[in-house]
């Protein structure tokens, strides 16, 4: 049986493929599951937190909080012992998350990116029972997301909330879009008008879906989802986390409804400047580097780097962004992960995926953490 492909491996594969389709090996998502509609007693932040100056806005190609520029200094986050399953029932640990988010905040971070898993938010325990309202996320999962946002807010971390993570490719098909829309109608209003959110990130890396079911299905899908989210929460910004150069051919299709663009970059640091210059010719909106990093271990060439190599990579990437007056970045990722936990599904052997953290398994800093501190606290 082949090992599951990691996002880093897909980035390299995507760069090598000029055309053709990759077909999903997953079966269509089941039509029944154990679920409970989310609670409707959400209490938004107190009124003194909801003045216009509490929301992140955009001017030109930069972010602002009130009248001050708000450069994005962020990290992607999964808990050390529960990666890819952060909000799952029985795995969510708020005390651990608070401890770990404090590590990033202490470096000078002002943003954290977290992920709402489509499958687990619907049926965490995979118990198949017919119910009336299948496409509402389960109450306990939503409550865990809410608690995480509250923790981030106490630490002055704005939240990039990524929706529809790991969603089955069949959901992009026109006959199934209504299913996702019903899910969005149940989820988004529970967090609407919350200034602790930086934005709605509609999905992580839908590029693979474009290659699988085609842009003729995926782009209209996101137009519909974006329009719906805008109706449900007109206050918040919207984006989508895309892979490297792949958004280039689609800029005209996305530019009129996304508030800003995101790209993920795992190539050599000395190639980043050319890519940034290229993106500046494509859009006048903010262009956020939403993922970047370097593994400090694991088998194969992607893991053949030291912690000093990682620190040098961070230095070069952040200097390139500063030199180009970019709007900021969100590094991948905060913690290292134990063998057998990282990935979705988890990779059972050691993998570079376990070693992208800027904190080791014992929470001690790698040298890259000092690099981030020097850029984030200046």
149-168 pLDDT per residue, tens: 999 999 999 999 999 999 98
| Burial label, 178 (beta-carbon count in 10 A; 0-12, 13-18, 19+) | exposed
Determine which of 38-47, 74-83, 190-199, 344-353 has the lowest per-residue pLDDT on average.
38-47
Residue 69 lies in a domain: yes
Task: Give helix then strand counts, H and E, for the chain.
Answer: 11, 11
112: enclosing H helix or E strand: strand 111-117
B/e letters for 318-354, b = 16+ CB within 10 Å, e = fewer, are bebbeeeebbbbbbbbbbbbeeebbbbebbeebbbbb
In a domain, 363, yes or no: yes
Which structural domain range is residue 90 located in? 36-42+52-376
Take residue 19 and report the two structure tokens written for it.
Answer: 């055309």
Question: Does the pLDDT of residue 252 top 50, yes or no?
Answer: yes
Mean pLDDT of 329-342: 98
> What's the whole-model pTM score?
0.87
What would the pLDDT profile of 212-238 be if each residue is shown by its tens digit?
899 899 999 999 999 999 999 999 999
User: Do the domain assignments include residue 225?
Assistant: yes
The count of domains in the chain is 1
Residue 25 domain-assigned (yes or no): no
Residue 326 inside a domain? The answer is: yes
Contact 258, 42 (CB under 8 A): no
CATH number for the domain spanning 364: value is 3.20.20.80
Residue 2 in any domain: the answer is no
Report the alpha-carbon distance of residue 319 to residue 331 in Å, rounded.
14
How does pLDDT run across 188-200, given as a tens digit for each residue? 999 999 999 999 9
Mean pLDDT of 204-212: 89
Q: What DSSP state is assigned to residue 359?
A: B
Nearest to 291 by CA among 11, 5, 69: 11
CB distance 262 to 242 below 8 Å: yes
Residue 132 and residue 98 in contact, taking contact as beta carbons nearer than 8 Å: no
Q: Could you give the CA distance from residue 176 to residue 83 in angstroms, rounded to a whole number? A: 29
Residue 7 lies in a domain: no
In a domain, 124, yes or no: yes
């Amino acid at each position: 049986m082949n090992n599951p492909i990691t996002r880093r491996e897909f980035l390299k594969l995507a760069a090598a493929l000029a055309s053709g389709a990759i077909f999903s090996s997953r079966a269509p998502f089941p039509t029944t599951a154990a679920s409970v509609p989310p609670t409707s007693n959400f209490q938004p932040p107190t009124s003194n937190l909801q003045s216009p100056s509490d929301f992140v806005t955009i001017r030109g190609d930069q972010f602002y909080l009130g009248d001050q520029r708000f450069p994005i200094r962020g990290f992607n986050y999964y808990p050390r012992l529960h990666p890819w399953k952060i909000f799952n029932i029985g795995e969510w640990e708020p005390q651990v998350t608070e401890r770990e988010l404090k590590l990033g905040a202490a470096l000078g971070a002002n943003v954290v990116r977290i992920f709402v898993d489509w499958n687990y938010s619907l049926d965490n325990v995979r118990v198949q029972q017919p119910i009336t309202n299948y496409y509402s996320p389960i109450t306990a999962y939503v409550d865990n997301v809410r608690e995480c946002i509250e923790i981030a807010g106490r630490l002055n971390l704005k939240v990039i909330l990524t929706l529809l993570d790991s969603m089955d490719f069949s959901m992009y098909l026109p006959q199934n879009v209504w299913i996702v829309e019903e899910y969005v109608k149940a989820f988004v209003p529970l967090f609407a008008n919350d200034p602790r959110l930086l934005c709605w990130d509609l999905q992580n890396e839908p590029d693979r879906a474009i290659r699988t079911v085609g842009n003729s299905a995926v782009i209209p899908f996101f137009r519909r989802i974006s329009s719906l989210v805008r109706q449900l929460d007109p206050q918040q910004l919207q984006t989508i986390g895309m892979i490297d150069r792949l958004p280039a051919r689609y800029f005209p299709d996305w530019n009129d409804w996304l508030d800003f663009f995101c790209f993920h970059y795992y190539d050599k640091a000395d190639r980043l400047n050319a890519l940034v210059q290229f993106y500046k010719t494509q859009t006048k909106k903010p262009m956020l580097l939403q993922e970047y990093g370097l593994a400090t271990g694991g088998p194969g060439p992607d893991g053949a780097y030291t912690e000093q190599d990682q620190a040098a990579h961070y230095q070069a990437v952040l200097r390139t962004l500063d030199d180009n007056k970019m709007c900021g970045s969100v590094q991948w990722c905060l913690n290292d992960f134990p063998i057998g936990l990282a990935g979705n599904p988890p990779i059972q052997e050691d993998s570079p995926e376990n070693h992208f953290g800027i904190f080791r398994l014992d929470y001690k800093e790698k040298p890259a953490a000092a690099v981030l501190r020097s850029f984030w606290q200046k």
